[in-house]
């Protein structure tokens, strides 16, 4: 792979301007380590939160946009992946065409939805939307079997809430948001040509209020054991006859399945009863809302701005839309993600960095192995199984070994922007459903190389680090080891620890959902995690809004484990030497500063509220301050002692991995 043309430019490992020295490290380490960064990087009006991830992502967007502009000048041949990228990109940029078309791309089908007058029409529309547009009421998709990770099977999952989370419908404090959502619906229904937009909006909320009552909470959706409900397709049809899933799966070409999994079975039971008496007019208004909402980003300014005003401004606190080139770029970057990723890594990713990551991962795996071996609360029997699982980890770095084939995906600029997006959605649906009953292809990636993120997949027992995250401040080839171990080292060991968090621990070395723990070890683990849950439950993120320690448990376990494992790996890398201080900070201090700078961020109150509701990750400041209060080596590094706000007595600390 090639390298960036900025290869010779050095990025500081840690800038002293990041610091807020008006605050003591012992009082508020997050503010101390990142307060200067926050001041120098005020929240941009187009963002509800802006942090280190966003800085890196913005740089990637600029690089990818340059690739797109270069391709646009070449007038690529029809049918090539370059043509598909360029035409999608140009359609997104063509605001004149989009505004001239107005609602025209959706009017015909919108009116077809409004003309539905029976259950058959409802079923046809649900099938159409699941394949082409969105997931009303529920979704179905193909993934590796929880119980036999070598084979792909069909999953059914709850879905369909316009505001995304059931708590927005069930909690009285969200009345203002519901009013804003209703106003959004009225606006876009009117733009689409409905003459009874207010009544339709009432119907949508009536439906979504009902299904919100039936849906599982975020915490319940972390209970994989309760979500593992295998059955045959015939048993599915018999269990939920009012949903007519036989008709819908037949339309998708997958009606006869010997085995599938229903994730939230009680939701489907209640939805089945509700469907028996549901009003057709209410349901078709709901389906119309799902269709129009899915189209907003690909239509004229008035549709797009209506969606922005509610979903971005009211719900999250962003003040301005992203620039048009960012919006246009994001669509081919998503729909043709691996094709874009191939171009991205050829130009910007270094094979040298991939080799260094493999070396670091080897060191981190050794550190985690030592941690497992030294656990006082786990038996030798369970430790042996844990070591087997760790040894079996598959590691993916940078980019896939084989790239996705987009040759049968057509992008036609004579069609509307939204129609092309729907065609791409249908292509992805068909591609996914074609895998049902087939062996799992473990070479596939769940993220594109240009994604600033990483993941652990329990069904494959694999950790994956796309090229885009292997850049400053996460990984810096010019940085000292302390900074790199505190940043990318913690990211890597965080993902490793996910293999042993409250969900990951349920899977064995082959990715099968199997109980490999002794009963006593499982109880000891749960007792320790209960303490961590309570530590985060006590955090008041906003007046009257507290963190949800059970919902964020997996990420909190991984943060703590990642820090401890990476710190010990860093110590081993020193081979008994003590590095000279840099900028007045010891290596141990720089390790923790490197960790904190990854989470530097400014964020609106609305976004804090929203993320607490929907995101299993704790807020950035809590990923630093709450987690570090359990770690003795952090106290030692900064001389934190009893009585300091960052101190937690040893009797109240918790160590899991």
User: 572-581 pLDDT, tens per residue?
Assistant: 999 999 999 9
**pLDDT beyond 80 at 280:** yes
Each residue's pLDDT tens digit, 466-504? 999 999 999 999 999 999 999 999 999 999 999 999 999
Mean pLDDT value across the chain: 96
pLDDT-derived band at 9, boundaries 50, 70, 90: low
Both tokens of 395, joined, read 């590691």
Each residue's pLDDT tens digit, 592-638? 999 999 999 999 999 999 999 999 999 999 999 999 999 999 999 99
Cβ-count burial of 8 within 10 angstroms (0-12 exposed, 13-18 middle, 19+ buried)?
exposed
| Maximum Cα interatomic distance, the chain, rounded to a whole number of Å | 78
**pLDDT beyond 80 at 8:** no
**pLDDT beyond 50 at 7:** no
Each residue's pLDDT tens digit, 353-380? 888 899 999 999 999 999 999 999 999 9
The span from the CA of 235 to the CA of 231, in Å, is 6
**pLDDT beyond 50 at 570:** yes
CB 101 within 8 A of CB 299: yes
The span from the CA of 445 to the CA of 466, in Å, is 9
- pTM here is 0.94
Strands 462-466 and 394-398: parallel
The span from the CA of 268 to the CA of 250, in Å, is 19
The span from the CA of 616 to the CA of 559, in Å, is 12
Task: Evaluate the CA torsion angle 360, 363, 367, 369 in order and state its sign.
Answer: positive
Other beta carbons within 10 angstroms of residue 540's beta carbon come to 9
Residue 5's pLDDT is 42
Query: What residues form DSSP beta bridges with 426?
Result: none
The span from the CA of 48 to the CA of 545, in Å, is 18
Residue 2's pLDDT is 42
pLDDT average, residue stretch 558-567: 98
CB 449 within 8 A of CB 344: yes
Residue 316's pLDDT is 96
Cβ-count burial of 639 within 10 angstroms (0-12 exposed, 13-18 middle, 19+ buried)?
exposed
The span from the CA of 229 to the CA of 515, in Å, is 16
Cβ-count burial of 407 within 10 angstroms (0-12 exposed, 13-18 middle, 19+ buried)?
exposed
**pLDDT beyond 70 at 650:** yes
Question: Shortest CA distance to 477 belongs to which of 588, 353, 351?
Answer: 353
Q: Which residue carries 């079997």 as its tokens?
A: 145
Classified as helix, coil or strand, 230 is: strand
Each residue's pLDDT tens digit, 160-170? 999 999 999 99
pLDDT average, residue stretch 104-116: 98
Q: Structural domains in the chain?
A: 21-61+336-402+443-652 (3.40.390.10), 105-298 (1.10.1380.10)
**pLDDT beyond 80 at 128:** yes
The span from the CA of 287 to the CA of 135, in Å, is 10
**pLDDT beyond 90 at 352:** no
pLDDT average, residue stretch 47-68: 94
Each residue's pLDDT tens digit, 404-434? 999 999 999 999 999 999 999 999 999 999 9
**pLDDT beyond 90 at 514:** yes
Classified as helix, coil or strand, 184 is: helix
CB 383 within 8 A of CB 106: no
The span from the CA of 204 to the CA of 206, in Å, is 5
Write out the DSSP string of 160-218. --TTSSTHHHH-GGGHHHHHHHHHHHHHHHHHTT-S-HHHHHHHHHHHHHHHHHHSPPT
The span from the CA of 62 to the CA of 348, in Å, is 12
Instruction: Return the percentage of the chain with pLDDT > 70, whole number.
Output: 99
pLDDT-derived band at 648, boundaries 50, 70, 90: very high
Other beta carbons within 10 angstroms of residue 645's beta carbon come to 13
Question: Shortest CA distance to 269 belongs to which of 390, 152, 177, 138?
Answer: 138
């Amino acid at each position: 792979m090639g390298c960036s043309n900025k290869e010779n430019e050095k990025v500081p490992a840690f800038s002293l301007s990041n610091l807020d020295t008006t605050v003591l490290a012992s009082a508020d380490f997050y503010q101390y380590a990142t307060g200067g960064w926050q001041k120098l990087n005020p929240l941009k009006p187009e963002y509800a939160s802006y942090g280190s991830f966003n800085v890196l992502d913005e740089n990637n967007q600029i690089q990818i946009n340059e690739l797109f502009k270069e391709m646009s000048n070449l007038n690529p041949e029809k049918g090539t992946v370059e043509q598909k990228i360029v035409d999608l990109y140009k359609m997104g940029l063509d605001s004149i065409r989009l505004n001239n078309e107005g609602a025209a791309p959706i009017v015909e089908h919108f009116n077809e939805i409004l003309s539905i007058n029976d259950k058959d029409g409802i079923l046809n529309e649900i099938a159409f939307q699941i394949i082409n547009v969105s997931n009303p009421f529920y979704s179905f998709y193909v993934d590796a079997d929880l119980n036999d990770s070598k084979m792909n099977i069909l999953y059914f999952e709850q879905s369909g809430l316009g505001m995304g989370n059931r708590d927005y419908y069930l909690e009285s404090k969200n009345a203002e948001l519901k009013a804003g959502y209703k106003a959004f619906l009225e606006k876009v229904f009117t733009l689409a040509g409905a003459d009874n937009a207010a009544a339709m909006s009432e119907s949508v909320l009536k439906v979504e209020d009902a299904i919100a009552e039936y849906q599982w909470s975020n915490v319940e959706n972390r209970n994989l054991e309760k979500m593992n409900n295998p059955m045959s397709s015939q048993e599915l049809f018999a269990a939920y006859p009012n949903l007519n899933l036989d008709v819908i799966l037949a339309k998708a070409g997958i009606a006869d399945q010997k085995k599938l999994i229903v994730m939230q079975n009680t939701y489907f039971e209640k939805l089945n009863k509700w469907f028996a008496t549901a009003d057709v007019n209410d349901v078709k208004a709901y389906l119309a809302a799902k269709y129009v909402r899915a189209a907003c980003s690909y239509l004229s300014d008035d549709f797009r701005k209506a969606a922005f005003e509610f979903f971005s401004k009211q719900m999250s606190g962003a003040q301005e839309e992203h620039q048009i080139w960012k919006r246009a770029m994001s669509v081919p970057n998503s729909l043709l993600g691996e094709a874009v990723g191939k171009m991205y890594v050829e130009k910007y990713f270094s094979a040298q960095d991939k080799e260094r990551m493999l070396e670091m991962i080897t060191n981190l795996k050794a550190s985690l192995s030592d941690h497992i071996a030294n656990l006082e609360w786990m038996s030798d029997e369970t430790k042996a199984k844990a070591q087997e699982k760790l040894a079996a980890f598959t590691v993916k770095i940078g980019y896939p070994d084989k790239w996705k084939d987009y040759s049968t995906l057509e992008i036609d600029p004579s069609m509307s922007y939204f129609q092309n997006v729907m065609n791409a959605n249908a292509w992805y649906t068909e591609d996914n459903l074609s895998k049902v009953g087939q062996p799992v292809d473990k070479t596939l990636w769940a993220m594109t190389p240009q994604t600033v993120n990483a993941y652990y997949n329990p069904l494959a027992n694999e950790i994956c680090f796309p090229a885009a995250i292997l850049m400053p401040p996460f990984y810096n080839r010019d940085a000292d080891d302390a900074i790199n171990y505190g940043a990318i080292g913690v990211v890597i060991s965080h993902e490793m620890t996910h293999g042993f968090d409250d969900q990951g621990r349920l899977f064995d070395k082959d990715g099968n959902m199997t109980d490999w723990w002794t009963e006593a070890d499982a109880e000891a683990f749960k007792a320790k995690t209960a303490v961590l849950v309570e530590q985060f439950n006590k955090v008041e993120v906003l007046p009257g809004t507290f963190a949800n320690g059970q919902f964020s448990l997996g990420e909190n376990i991984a943060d703590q484990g990642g820090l401890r494992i990476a710190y010990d790996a860093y110590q081993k890398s020193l081979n008994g030497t003590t590095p000279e201080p840099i900028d007045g900070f010891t290596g141990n201090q720089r390790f923790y500063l490197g960790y904190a700078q990854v989470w530097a961020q400014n964020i609106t109150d609305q976004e804090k509220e929203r993320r607490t509701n929907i995101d299993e990750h704790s807020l950035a400041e809590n990923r630093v301050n709450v987690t570090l209060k359990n770690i003795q080596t952090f106290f030692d590094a900064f001389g934190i002692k009893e009585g300091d706000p960052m101190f937690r007595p040893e009797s109240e600390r918790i160590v899991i991995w």
